[in-house]
Structure 1
Amino acid sequence: MVSDRRTSSDDPLKFLIVDDHALVRYGLSLALRQRYPDVVIVEAGSLAEAMRKARSERDLTAILYDLQMGDSDEHSGLTDMLDAAGDVPLIVVSGATDGNVIASCIRAGARGFVNKGCEGAVLDQALPIVLEGGIFAPAPPTPPDGQRVRIALASAPAQARSENDAVSSLTERQREVLRLLLEGQSNKEIARALGVLEGTIKVHLRTVMQRLGVRNRTQLALATMKAGIKLQS
């Protein structure tokens, strides 16, 4: 199966969006395209269609899955979808706020849970963490003034969010990816060195480039030198 996958470091990310409401699928597509302009979007409006596409589509980066699909029970449907997804990480996107529902999704094998009422920026936080093997979920109970997010990833420190300095928002892992990239390693080599999926490296690099306002590796190297980022631990 690995031999069938594309190997180019410039391959776009590819997401399967599963929701039985076309407008929701459209909104999620816009959110992903805003962050990753070259993203490939695959849509499914039913569980049956989603399972077919999960099994047939190559190189899926992740699946965004609505828990309340019209053609299935939410819990058995999630189990069936996870089985069809295989190794592709699945993030539940749902309007549910019950902590028991969230916990049951994570126990079933979902790698993340994003509430439909949250801000779009939550996806920026969720995707790298989920693709790196962590769990992303809201912390119950949800406070009345908005959703707070708890990131459960033992290997990554809390991400600084300085508005005035883009460099301060880089996580330790993003710095590590950047260091290896500046050493001339390809996405595949970086993924192998860090023991993560190549799609994870793509997400990290796109995030770093967006934070530093650059569009390619050459500009990224120059921006790193200008900013004086210390990449050595």
Structure 2
Amino acid sequence: MDHHAQHGHGSAELNMVSDRRIPSDDPLKFLIVDDHALVRYGLTLALRQRYEDVVIVEAGSLAEAMRKARSEPDLTAILYDLQMGDSDEHSGLTDMLEAAGDVPLIVVSGATDGNVIASCIRAGARGFVNKGCEAAVLDQALAIVLEGGIFAPAPPTPPNGKRVRIALTADAAPVRSESELVGGLTERQREVLCLLLEGRSNKEIARALGVLEGTIKVHLRSVMQRLGVRNRTQLALATIKAGIKLPS
């Protein structure tokens, strides 16, 4: 399966953001690195709207971020601003990646230059999310990155060759049926869903797919948010309405 995901900023599908929070017995833990307090606050709100009891660690400088990356245990992922005030873009990212070790890092930046995005991925970032995107794009990026894939945006390019940003509000997004929503799941999300419907636990699903249990939880949260449900029972019912039969 190709883990590289490309999304335009104007996807109506990605504007369908649910305010429901999905409870978790094992909260995720994120390090948010940005030298603007308001941006850190916004990212914190976005994560807390989606993950109940999520643990947030903040850093307002590269030096502080590197220190916390090395000292904070069990980090799930790092959200990193490319333009930190106490470093330049390239060396700062390199230093941060070294401090992060095996913790996946997603660059969250206002940059739109394809060369900048590519250089971040080549340096070792596992994803790149533009600050102007919808919050649901971050959800998708986290699900893919925590599975071991790479997430990079691909803004739409019209015939004249000039990239444009299509701004759609949540109210402008079309109402989709369960069938349409389930049909839009990624291949791995569908695999997780099928195993869940067989009655397997998160640990059993993770073992079957050869990934971390935390990755399965991220996938399930994304699927539940997509279908607007809060638990496995509601998820099973929504799946039946979508025309997918439960395993016998």
TM-score bucket (shorter structure):
0.7 to 0.9
User: Which segments of 5 or more consecutive residues in structure 2 lack a partner in the other structure?
Assistant: 1-23, 168-173
Task: Find the residue that maps to 1:136 and give its secondary structure.
Answer: coil
Aligned counterpart, 2:164: 145
TM-score (norm. length: structure 2): 0.77
Task: Find the residue that maps to 1:92 and give its secondary structure.
Answer: strand
Aligned counterpart, 1:125: 140
Aligned counterpart, 2:122: 107
Higher relative contact order (CA 8 A, sep 6+): 2
For the residues of structure 1 that align with 2:243 and 2:176, how far apart are their CA atoms?
A: 18
For the residues of structure 2 that align with 1:57 and 1:230, how far apart are their CA atoms?
A: 43
Alignment of 1:71 onto 2:82: no
Aligned counterpart, 1:193: 208
User: Is this contact kept in 1: 2:126–2:151, CA < 8 A?
Assistant: yes
Task: Find the residue that maps to 1:221 and give its secondary structure.
Answer: helix
Map 1:196-207; keep pairs closer than 5 Å.
196-207=211-222
User: Is this contact kept in 1: 2:140–2:222, CA < 8 A?
Assistant: no
For the residues of structure 2 that align with 1:195 and 1:88, how far apart are their CA atoms?
A: 18
Q: Which of 190, 203, 212 is 1:175 aligned to?
A: 190
Query: Relative to 1, partners in 2 of residues 1:164 and 1:220: Cα closer, same or farther, differing over 3 Å?
Result: closer
For the residues of structure 1 that align with 2:246 and 2:139, how far apart are their CA atoms?
A: 22
Q: Which of 160, 163, 173 is 2:176 aligned to?
A: 163
Task: Find the residue that maps to 1:178 and give its secondary structure.
Answer: helix
How many Å apart are 1:230 and its aligned residue?
A: 4.5
Task: Find the residue that maps to 1:137 and give its secondary structure.
Answer: coil
Give the superposed CA RMSD.
2.4
User: Is this contact kept in 2: 1:175–1:231, CA < 8 A?
Assistant: no
How many Å apart are 1:231 and its aligned residue?
A: 7.1
Q: Which of 53, 59, 65 is 1:50 aligned to?
A: 65
Aligned length: 212
More strand by share: 1
For the residues of structure 1 that align with 2:213 and 2:103, how far apart are their CA atoms?
A: 12
Task: Find the residue that maps to 1:126 and give its secondary structure.
Answer: helix
User: Is this contact kept in 1: 2:198–2:246, CA < 8 A?
Assistant: no
Aligned counterpart, 1:24: 39
Aligned counterpart, 1:92: 107
- 4+ residue segments displaced more than 4 Å: 140-143
Task: Find the residue that maps to 2:121 and give its secondary structure.
Answer: helix
TM-score (norm. length: structure 1): 0.81
Q: What's the CA shift string for 1:53-79, capped at 9, x where partnerless? A: 112222211110001111112211111
Counterpart residue identity of residue 167, structure 1? V
